[in-house]
Amino acid sequence: MSAVAAHYGALQKLGVEVLSVSVDSHFVHKMWNDNELSKMVEGGVPYHMISDQAGNVGRAYGVWDETQGIEMRGRFIIDPDGVIQAMEVLTAPVGRKLAETIRQFQAYQLVRASGGKEATPAGWEPGKETLKPGPDLVGNVWKVWNPSME
Amino acid sequence: MEEQPQGCARVSGSVIDAPPQDAPPQSGPTTTHEASKMTARVGQKAPDFSAPAYYQGGFTNVKLSDYLGKWVMLCFYPGDFTFV
């Protein structure tokens, strides 16, 4: 989560609000921020650190691990309508890659701004070609996109 | 968001019940409570919840539905003071 705190500016530029959740109490969140995270990240954690000690929120999102009593690394992209557009869930020992989350936010924001008229092909990044699905594109994706462009 | 009074009760997050219209039909009495509560799916409304939080030196309460109109990155992780 310190990686998210360190790159919070990039998320803020995209208008993204961050909410972190674990089964620790909000008092422990404060201790973690004060004694460790604030030493990794200038100014400490800039987002809300939510406490879900009973795992109720984690259960609703399918990340609750009954045997360990913890929540797995679940990351959800929620759009302004409150709809989940993307999710990624990892078990505890492997960390996330924030750059991919930022790329997905950029892609979903582009699609939303286009009113659904544009889609982003595999490996899309800002500045690269998008796809405009329609009758003309059927069977013709090869003309505008190929895997080497990923 | 306003400061919350801090008692000694063990407060936790709770889901705000609004069963999704497309909830799968109950498959009989063997369906567990947990399974029926798991509602997060892509393309569907995010389950709303209310929970205590630490935010920049203070304690507050977060309700997901207060963030309607904004993009939200909701991140779960195994625990504070863990190593990854």
Where in chain B are the domains? Answer: 46-84
One-letter amino acid at A144 equals: V
Cα of first residue to Cα of last residue in chain B, in angstroms, is: 30
For residue B33, is pLDDT > 80?
Answer: no
Interchain contact, B71 vs A78, CB within 8 Å: yes
Rounded to the nearest integer, the mean pLDDT of chain B is: 80
Separation between Cα atoms, residue A139 and residue B8, nearest integer Å: 64
Contacts of A24 in chain B (CB under 8 A): 79-80
Give A105: exposed, middle or buried? Use CB within 10 Å, 0-12, 13-18, 19+: buried
The two counts, helices (H) then strands (E), for chain B are: 1, 4
Higher-pLDDT residue of A150 and A23 is: A23
pLDDT at position A37, please?
93
Which ipTM was obtained for this model? 0.93
Taken in order of first residue, the domains within chain A and their CATH numbers are 2-113 (3.40.30.10), 116-150 (no CATH)
**Which of B53, B75, B77 lies closest to A51 in CB terms?**
B53
Percentage of the residues of chain A whose pLDDT score is greater than 70: 100
Q: Any CB–CB contact under 8 A between A36 and chain B?
A: yes
Which chain A residue has the Cα nearest residue B34?
Answer: A59
Question: A42-46, A68-72, A141-145, B35-39 — which is least confidently predicted?
Answer: B35-39
> How far A94 CA sits from the closest chain B CA (Å)?
7
Instruction: Find out whether B68 and A80 touch, Cβ atoms under 8 Å.
Output: yes
* CA distance linking residue A24 with residue A118, whole number of Å: 41
pLDDT of residue A147: 83
Ranges of beta strands (E only) in A14-140 are 16-22, 48-51, 64-65, 70-71, 73-78, 84-90
Q: Which residues of B touch A101 (CB under 8 A)?
A: 73
Cα-flanking dihedrals φ and ψ of residue A88, to 5°?
Answer: -145, 130
Averaged pLDDT of chain A = 93
Residue B52's pLDDT band, with cuts at 50, 70 and 90, is very high
Are residues A76 and B49, on separate chains, in Cβ contact within 8 Å?
A: no
pLDDT at B35: 46
What are the tens digits of pLDDT across the range A92-120?
Answer: 889 999 999 999 999 999 999 999 899 99
What pLDDT score does B32 carry? 46
A84 inside 8 A of chain B by CB: yes
Look at B62 and A137; give whichever has higher pLDDT. B62
* Nearest CB to A70; choose among B11, B39, B78: B78
CB contact under 8 A, A73 and B51: no
Q: What is the pLDDT of residue B31?
A: 44
Kindly state the helix (H) or strand (E) to which residue A114 belongs, with its residue range: none
- What average pLDDT score do residues B5-22 get? 71
